[in-house]
């Protein structure tokens, strides 16, 4: 029972690293949209700074990702994979059978990171 609880905490914390920031950003955008809707309904003019601030954070879907962003993302994924591998190495001191499953889990982010690094290097402008 303890092992299941520990695994649930690990994967829950990893998931929360991605879900919680998106949730708060979504809530912030919803509040901004509600505020703007009320202002428009009351006939208030919108300052250009507000419109620029809202549109500056939006990425255009037609633009390809930059090589720098790909390299940065790849390095982060490689770090996550190396972290899982290090976790397996540390756990293997107490439980020798823990190394190979952790290395298996670590292989996924490592290969994703390698793909991003390759994309970043291949898309560089010479």
Going from the C-alpha of 96 to that of each of 4, 6, 34, 80, the distances in angstroms are 18, 18, 55, 22
Task: Evaluate if residue 117 carries a pLDDT over 70.
Answer: yes
The pLDDT assigned to 34 comes to 87
Helices (H), 1-66: 2-41, 48-56
Alpha carbon distance 13, 21 (integer Å): 13
Q: Tell me the per-residue pLDDT of 5-22, one tens digit each, with 9 for 90 and over.
A: 888 888 888 888 889 888
pLDDT tier at 72 (50, 70, 90 boundaries)? very high
Closest CA to 50 of 32, 27, 74: 32
Average pLDDT value over all residues in the chain: 85
Which structure tokens are listed for 37? 């809707």
pLDDT tier at 126 (50, 70, 90 boundaries)? low
The pLDDT assigned to 56 comes to 64
Q: Tell me the per-residue pLDDT of 88-114, one tens digit each, with 9 for 90 and over.
A: 999 999 998 989 999 999 999 999 999
Helices first, then strands: H and E counts in the chain:
4, 0
């Amino acid at each position: 029972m303890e092992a299941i609880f520990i695994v649930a905490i690990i994967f829950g914390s990893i998931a929360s690293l991605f879900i919680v920031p998106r949730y708060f950003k979504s809530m912030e955008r919803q509040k901004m949209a509600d505020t703007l809707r009320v202002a428009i309904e009351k006939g208030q003019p919108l300052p250009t700074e507000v419109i620029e601030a809202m549109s500056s954070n939006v990425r255009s879907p037609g633009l390809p990702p930059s090589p720098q962003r790909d390299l940065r993302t790849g390095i982060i994924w490689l770090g996550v994979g190396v972290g899982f591998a290090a976790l397996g190495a540390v756990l293997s001191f107490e439980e020798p059978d823990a190394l190979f499953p952790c290395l298996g889990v670590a292989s996924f982010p490592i290969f994703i990171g390698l793909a991003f690094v390759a994309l970043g290097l291949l898309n560089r402008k010479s």
